[in-house]
Amino acid sequence: MRFILTAAVWAVILALVSFVFSIRGMESGPIDKEVKEKHAEVSFEITATFSVEDDPFALNIGDKKSAFELVLDGQTVFSAEKGINDRVSFTTESFELSTGKHELFVKANPSDTRISQAVRVQVLLSGNPISSETYWFNPGQAVNAAHVFEVTEKGSQNEH
């Protein structure tokens, strides 16, 4: 008798769990395809407090690694071996992004690792800043910063 009661309780628990998971995805309602198809021209203005140089300790395994990289949503959109100068801003080319959340990852090898470093990232929509953040790094720390921002129909909201 106990076995049958235990099996019945487990069956009720499994039925409730499957019911909760089946209705969980329905709460968002229908997705408007028009909103997903909208695009915006976005560029990035980067200001670094350091110059860059090749990593002398990097393994040479055939992949070309640059001293400064910008990765947008997993795709490298800008890389440079040289030419990134201390306290000089530069603006990237424009990229067409869909509305929604995006991530810009900054990776750099500063030439002077004895002092603190910073990199400022500004997201520009039609030349106007919609998101801005400055990332600071301790002396000797690698410069790796992930800037998350959201492109909306009206502009952007900064996500820290």
Question: What's the residue count for the chain?
Answer: 160
Q: What is the pLDDT of residues 18-65, one digit of tens each?
A: 888 888 766 555 555 444 556 788 999 999 888 776 666 666 665 556
- Specify the 3-state DSSP secondary structure of 107: strand
Q: What is the pLDDT of residues 58-103, one digit of tens each?
A: 666 655 567 788 899 888 888 877 667 778 888 888 888 888 899 9
Tell me, what's the pLDDT at 61?
A: 63
Asked if residue 122 has pLDDT above 90, the reply is yes
155 confidence band (pLDDT: 50, 70, 90): very low
- Specify the 3-state DSSP secondary structure of 156: strand
Q: CA 134, CA 121: separation in Å to the nearest integer?
A: 6
What's 131-147 look like in SS3?
A: EEEEEEECCCCCEEEEE
| Paired residues of 98 in beta bridges | 39
Q: CA 54, CA 148: separation in Å to the nearest integer?
A: 27
